[in-house]
Amino acid sequence: MLGTRTAFAALLAMACAATANAQSAPKRDEFYWLGEINKASAVINTDEGLLDPALAPRIAAGLDSMLKAAEKPGAKRPTLVITFEPLLIEAAGVEATLLHAGRSSQDMLATVRAAIMRDELLRLDERLRKVTATMVRLAEKHVDTIVPNYTNGVAAQPNSYGHYLLGHVAGLDRDAQRLREAFARLDRSPMGTTVLNGTSWPLNRNRMASYLGFAETVDNAYDAAQIAAAELPVEVGALATSIALHAGAFVEDVMTQYAQPRPWILLAEGDGNTYVSSAMPQKRNPGLLNSTRSQASSVITAGIGRVIQAHNIPPGMSDVKSVRDNAAVITGTIAMLDGWDRILNGLVIDPARALEELNSDWTASQEIADVLMRTYKLPFRVGHHFASEVVDYAKVNNIRPTDFPYAEAQRIYKATLKEMNVTGSELPLSEAEFRATLDPLAIVRNRATAGGPQPAEMARMLGLAKQKLAQQEQWTKERRGRIDTALAALDRDFGKLLERAK
């Protein structure tokens, strides 16, 4: 658990930095939501005959004065029902506890946590969309930038860098889907479930959910605070972990280039992207890559920590329910995404150097086997063996694809057929065809399967990615708008109750 605590310390430091830059709008913290719940209870219970209409305006006035006092610098903003209520009694008298009809710390705090995490997920969605949009923009810019792609840590095939980026975009789109699914499960009000099986008070749960901006209520009263409240933080941790894994994979793919004396991709110097070694003047350490990868590791540690804290405890325990810890997971993920966005905007690609690496590693050699099979019906394994022998000869003799002797290819082909007991003798590829199969740009452009890097498919996938980004933005606006509209309606109706106190 020491590692988990260290991760939370790192994430909480990020949270404090984010808070320092936050807007001056009312902070929707635990105190805020406890206030909203009490305002809604005052309005609903008065309307439905559960609170004496003669007392309600005075209680509302006391509640209002208490909430306004808490907005002053240094004022108390208690986070628990049992510490919130004494301030309410002080401001409105003990009659204010009539608001507590059919309520419990269990359903109230479960609602507070759900409301806060709901806001946090919307913040996360905005940052996730920003990184994805940056990646889509770069993918469009680099449709024709041909670079090596790697499998098992070794240069494998030439590819469009734009196509590579769209592969990462697809991963982030799945993260966005997971976020929306998690939000839907979180966007349910526990209020009115009381402790674990409801109350004899006929509370209007649907109206309470509506005032607090929830899409619906949690159906089962036992589930509300005892099962879902402990399960949802684990789901949020898993979401954060998935995003961090995607970020870490991207960062490491760039990071490996820094081990080369001549990288084909690296960060632009300056703006905090890199820094000079204190001892070795030639070194430019990729500080931004390191810090973002470190943030990703902290997010993963804390995300998995949600599972560890939820494991092996009976229902009803609060181990995994901490607002501070759960919000820190999301805040840390947002900070990591900000770093990733800076990385994307700071990338510098050298296409000529990328092509040099492609040719030096013979990454186009599979195309020889593909063309021999597709055009000349040669069994793939025979063509593969021929291409492999060509590469072996080239590496021993330090020959690049553009310089490989056609006569030597013909000799190797004959030897391959003899070794594998295949009829035939002459290499069916002309010299022009042989050289064309080794052209990385031609290979990428000639891909014919759906989802490949050829121009038509790139145009299709870019269009789809932009469409999904627009839909994602609309989804976020609708959820945020619904919450804000609901809270405005609550303020309006609570204001009417206050008017009666004058």
Summarize pLDDT for 368-425 with one digit per residue, the tens.
988 999 999 999 999 999 999 999 999 999 998 888 999 999 999 999 998 998 988 7
Reply yes or no on whether the pLDDT at 360 is more than 60. Answer: yes
Measured CA to CA, the distance from residue 201 to residue 157 in angstroms comes to 68
Q: Express each pLDDT in 150-169 by its tens digit.
A: 989 888 789 999 999 999 99
What's the average model confidence in pLDDT over 80-90?
A: 98
Q: Rank 103-117, 249-263, 362-376, 383-397 by mean pLDDT and report only the highest.
A: 103-117
CB count within 10 Å of CB 91 equals 18
Q: Is 284:260 a contact under the CB 8 Å cutoff?
A: no
Sign of the dihedral through C-alpha 129, 132, 134, 139: negative
Q: How confident is the model at residue 259 (pLDDT cuts 50, 70, 90)?
A: confident
Query: What's the pLDDT score for residue 196?
Result: 96
Measured CA to CA, the distance from residue 359 to residue 354 in angstroms comes to 9
What's the average model confidence in pLDDT over 198-203?
A: 97
Torsion angle of C-alpha atoms 249, 255, 259, 263, degrees rounded to 10: 110
Tokens of 84: 């919130």
Q: For the chain, how big is the Rg over CA atoms in Å?
A: 31
Query: What's the pLDDT score for residue 20?
Result: 45
User: What percentage of the chain has pLDDT greater than the value 90?
Assistant: 80
What's the average model confidence in pLDDT over 197-224?
A: 98
Query: What's the pLDDT score for residue 113?
Result: 98
Query: What's the pLDDT score for residue 23?
Result: 42
Query: What's the pLDDT score for residue 363?
Result: 78
User: What percentage of the chain has pLDDT greater than the value 70?
Assistant: 93
Q: Express each pLDDT in 366-382 by its tens digit.
A: 889 889 999 999 999 99
Task: Report the candidate in 166, 185, 254 with the shortest Cα–Cα distance to residue 223.
Answer: 185
Measured CA to CA, the distance from residue 467 to residue 456 in angstroms comes to 17
Query: 92-106, 139-153, 276-290: which has the minimum mean pLDDT?
Result: 276-290
Query: What's the pLDDT score for residue 7?
Result: 59
Query: What's the pLDDT score for residue 19?
Result: 47
Query: 1-15, 105-119, 222-236, 461-475: which has the minimum mean pLDDT?
Result: 1-15
Reply yes or no on whether the pLDDT at 473 is more than 80. Answer: yes
Matching residue, tokens 């889509």: 136
Task: Report the candidate in 222, 11, 8, 22 with the shortest Cα–Cα distance to residue 106.
Answer: 222
Length of the chain: 502
Matching residue, tokens 């599972």: 307
Contacts of 299 (CB under 8 A, 6+ apart): 7, 11, 240, 241, 243, 244, 329, 332, 333, 336
Q: How confident is the model at residue 10 (pLDDT cuts 50, 70, 90)?
A: low
Q: How confident is the model at residue 501 (pLDDT cuts 50, 70, 90)?
A: confident
Query: What's the pLDDT score for residue 275?
Result: 52
Reply yes or no on whether the pLDDT at 68 is more than 60. Answer: yes
Query: What's the pLDDT score for residue 276?
Result: 59
| Single-letter residue type at 43 | V
Query: What's the pLDDT score for residue 189?
Result: 99
Query: What's the pLDDT score for residue 3?
Result: 54
Backbone angles phi, psi at 424, to 5 degrees: 120, 170
Reply yes or no on whether the pLDDT at 16 is more than 90. Answer: no
Query: 20-29, 83-92, 160-169, 474-483: which has the minimum mean pLDDT?
Result: 20-29
Q: Express each pLDDT in 269-287 by its tens digit.
A: 888 877 555 555 556 788 8
Measured CA to CA, the distance from residue 247 to residue 251 in angstroms comes to 6
DSSP state of 428: S
Query: What's the pLDDT score for residue 22?
Result: 44
Class of domain 2-354+469-499: mainly alpha
* Domain definitions of the chain by residue range: 2-354+469-499, 365-438
* Residue-averaged pLDDT of the chain: 92
What's the average model confidence in pLDDT over 183-205?
A: 98
